[in-house]
Amino acid sequence: MVEMAETRGLEAMAFTDHGPELEVGIAREKLPAMLQDIRLAQEEADIPVLAGMEANVADGTGRIDVDEHVIDDLDIIVVGIHTIDEAATPRDFAENYLKRATLAIKKNKVDILAHPFFLHEPLLPHLSLEDVKEFLRLAGDRGVAMEVNAKYRYPGADFISLCLQEGVKLSVGSDAHSAADVGRVDWPLAELGRAGAKREDLILDDLLTR
């Protein structure tokens, strides 16, 4: 994956495997070995390689499934919402998602919200503009960036523009699950361009200068 990132001219890349309480996540006992592998890749790479996790927001309290001592060893922490059981309508899903995302940001150290407001389908149409803006103001205050996700092609330029208005940084995410998908970010870059986002609107430089 690092070799592919270098071949495709990326400035940097981050490994962010799913947390252990998601079915496809990495088991807790395998985390040390994973981090060791990433650190070895860092030593051999010609670009910065960040060790991270995509922690799962595990329930309605905003709890995430990555322990604090693990987070302390990471360069980047992404959180994502992947399951919501207690909802009957699209609006219920959207409001539950918003509540979980809000609590996760308030309770945890978070750098990026993964595929924001997408859970099997776009959720933004089911939320009021003011509720979305209030959430983005919280994210801006907490320094949490919003991912523009290549896999789901979401969120688009309209949401990106709201982020820019509220001073929220953005992250370009390939959501690559194989080397072939590393660096395939044409769609996020196009949407960022449509919204008028500039280099300084991205979280990239903040992460690389820590």
Closest C-alpha to 78, from 99, 98, 50: 50
Q: Per the structure block, which two tokens stand in for 16? A: 């962010």
Mean pLDDT of the chain, nearest integer: 95
* Range(s) of the domain holding residue 86: 56-208
User: Which pair of structure tokens corresponds to residue 114?
Assistant: 């993964």
Domain with 112 in it: what CATH number?
3.20.20.140
> How many domains is the chain built from?
1
In a domain, 66, yes or no: yes
* pLDDT recorded at residue 207: 95
172 pLDDT more than 80: yes
Residue 99 belongs to a domain = yes
**Distance separating alpha carbons of residues 20 and 45, to the nearest angstrom:** 27
Whether residue 165 is contained in a domain is answered as yes
In a domain, 203, yes or no: yes
> Mean pLDDT throughout 175-198?
96
Give the separation between CA 82 and CA 55, rounded to whole angstroms. Answer: 10
For the segment 117-144, the average pLDDT, to the nearest whole number, is 97
Cα–Cα distance list, 177 to 7, 119, 174, 191, 208 (Å): 17, 18, 9, 22, 23
Give the CA distances from residue 132 to residues 52, 56, 104, 162, 209, in Å, rounded to whole numbers and listed in that order: 27, 21, 15, 9, 30
Whole-model pTM: value is 0.95
- Whether 108 maps to a domain, the answer reads yes
Residue 24 three-state SS? coil
Residue 30 within a domain:
no
Inside any domain, residue 42: no
Instruction: Give a yes or no: residue 35 inside a domain.
Output: no
Has residue 36 got a pLDDT over 90?
Answer: yes
